[in-house]
Structure 1
Amino acid sequence: MRVDISFLPALAATFMLVFARIGAMVMLLPGFGETNIPVRVKLSIALLLTMIILPLHRQAYQVDMSSLAPLLVLMLHEIVIGVVLGATARVTLSALQVAGSVIAQQLGLGFVTAIDPTQGQQGLLIGNFLTILGMTLLFATDSHHLVIAALNESYRIFSPGQTFPTGDVAALATKAFATAFKIGLQLSAPFLVFGLVFNLGLGVLARLMPQMQVYFVGVPLSILIGFLILALVITAIMGTFLDYFVSVMHQLTPLR
């Protein structure tokens, strides 16, 4: 009895190509690619997803084992695709950081910073809070499943071995950054209105009562009223963000 194992090198090469796309994406995904998550955990998630995705799209790869150069080019192609997909999901989360920065400036808390656990660097406190809350809601509402679905459907948009659509990728990146900034400003719109009205009121009060220390009265009052507004609108802010994240993921999942 003979067992044919001639397919194993091609299968191993295909596995590494799929892993290159998925691994690059996992390293950037919100909730999976954070700096405080051990590398072994990220690697385990990428390997598990690779074993799930590989049987579905194995036939899409035309692996030529006679030459190493085409394999290296194809692997670089897969890595770039994974980076594009992961970075798109990561940029959507940055909308909360933009909103948190604007809110903190309007409340007079622009100098209050703390370590952002998702990035491992200093960030404004309110921005960190909104980012962690948004990430928690993504997992609580199973929205992270859309990321896996987008990864699976990426083989229809970016087929292995085809010419890389640099124009489409550039348009996607530009649109992702612009939309994230726009959504961040929209989420912080109530606080922009509050900051404008409140500072105008303080200016009028300073003119009417020059002897009054407006700054020492205005800063605590601004923080107090700002947190009350945040408590009232936090549900709408996070609901809008979830809708935005879902819409971005649906754009990466074309209709059949």
Structure 2
Amino acid sequence: MAIELVPIEQFQIFLICAARIAGFIGAIPVFSGAQTPVQLKAGLVFVVSLVLFPAVASTLPSLTTFEPATFIVFLVSEVLIGAIIGLIARLIFTAVEFGGTIIGYQMGFAAANVFDPQNERQISLISQMQNVFAVLIFLAISGHHVFIRTAVESYRILPPGGIDFSGEAVPFLMELASHMFVLGVQFSAPVLAVLLLSGLILGILARTFPQGNVFLLSFPLNIAIAFTVIGLTLGMVFIVLSREFDNLADHFFTMLTLLNG
């Protein structure tokens, strides 16, 4: 029984497809961390690429000759597309961490940090708590499915090798980055407002009763107030994060269109 070998052209096209899928899978916040085994990532990339390859093969370029330089450029550009898409999604989680850092600093947790295995760095306790909450919301509303749908539609919007940074792609990315700071302030604004009011009241008490040790009282009081406000505003945070995650698909498709020039 003769064994049919896969034509080199089809194999190259499959690798190009797998490169973009690898970029998208690696960009999903749940899988982007170092705590996810590499074997799991590789297996998921292979399975998803195998499933999507027949559907997107018609949109992929026809490679009639094996040119290593051109082939490597194709692979790098495909992985870069996934990295850019991942950066857009990552900006939301960075805004959550930014807001948590501000809250932690104001409530007295400035020196209390924990190791974040996903990003392999030290972050504040409140940032880690809000980051976990954001990941749970992301999974609950099937945000990871947006990456798969975008990966399929991306071949129609942006053919392989057609990435172009000379248009409005970079300004659009900078606009999203500036929105990250606004979003971070929105997350921390309720807690900051209450803590500011608490500090004002404690300052008045310190002037009214100089013999009282208001300074030591402020630490547990601010922590209790901050956690209370965080608990009361979880519904608002859920609404804001759900809105941002729902807009991810539009941001993805806009970026892909701008990258196409």
Decide: shared fold, TM above 0.5: yes
Higher alpha-carbon deviation: 157-166 or 204-213: 157-166
Deviating beyond 4 angstroms after TM superposition, the runs of 4 or more aligned structure 1 residues are 1-5
Name the counterpart of 1:48. Answer: 47
1:165 and 1:33 map into 2 onto residues whose CA distance is 24
2:152 and 2:77 map into 1 onto residues whose CA distance is 16
Name the SS of the counterpart of 2:168 in structure 1: helix
Q: Residues 15, 168 of structure 1: CA spacing in aligned structure 2 closer, same or farther, 3 A cutoff?
A: farther
Q: Is the 8 A contact 2:150 2:249 kept in 1?
A: yes
Q: Does 1:78 align with 2:78?
A: yes
Name the SS of the counterpart of 1:27 in structure 2: helix
Q: Does 1:26 align with 2:29?
A: no
Specify every segment of 5 or more residues in structure 2 that has no aligned partner in the other structure, as ranges.
255-261
2:233 and 2:102 map into 1 onto residues whose CA distance is 15
Name the counterpart of 1:173. Answer: 173
Name the SS of the counterpart of 2:233 in structure 1: helix
Q: Residues 4, 42 of structure 1: CA spacing in aligned structure 2 closer, same or farther, 3 A cutoff?
A: closer
1:154 and 1:175 map into 2 onto residues whose CA distance is 22
Name the counterpart of 2:258. Answer: none
Q: Which amino acid aligns with 1:23?
A: A
Q: Which amino acid aligns with 2:168?
A: D
* Structure 2 counterparts to residues 105-254 of structure 1, below 5 A: 105-253=105-253
1:155 and 1:240 map into 2 onto residues whose CA distance is 30
Name the SS of the counterpart of 1:155 in structure 2: helix
Name the counterpart of 1:67. Answer: 67
- In the TM superposition, what is the alpha-carbon distance from 1:105 to its structure 2 partner? 1.7
Q: Is the 8 A contact 1:92 1:176 kept in 2?
A: no
Name the counterpart of 2:88. Answer: 88
| TM-score between both structures, scaled by the size of structure 2 | 0.89
Q: Is the 8 A contact 2:59 2:156 kept in 1?
A: no
2:209 and 2:248 map into 1 onto residues whose CA distance is 51
Specify every segment of 5 or more residues in structure 1 that has no aligned partner in the other structure, as ranges.
none
Higher alpha-carbon deviation: 34-43 or 175-184: 175-184
- In the TM superposition, what is the alpha-carbon distance from 1:237 to its structure 2 partner? 0.7
2:186 and 2:235 map into 1 onto residues whose CA distance is 14
Q: Is the 8 A contact 2:96 2:127 kept in 1?
A: yes
1:118 and 1:238 map into 2 onto residues whose CA distance is 21
Q: Which amino acid aligns with 1:79?
A: V
Percent identical pairs in the alignment equals 26
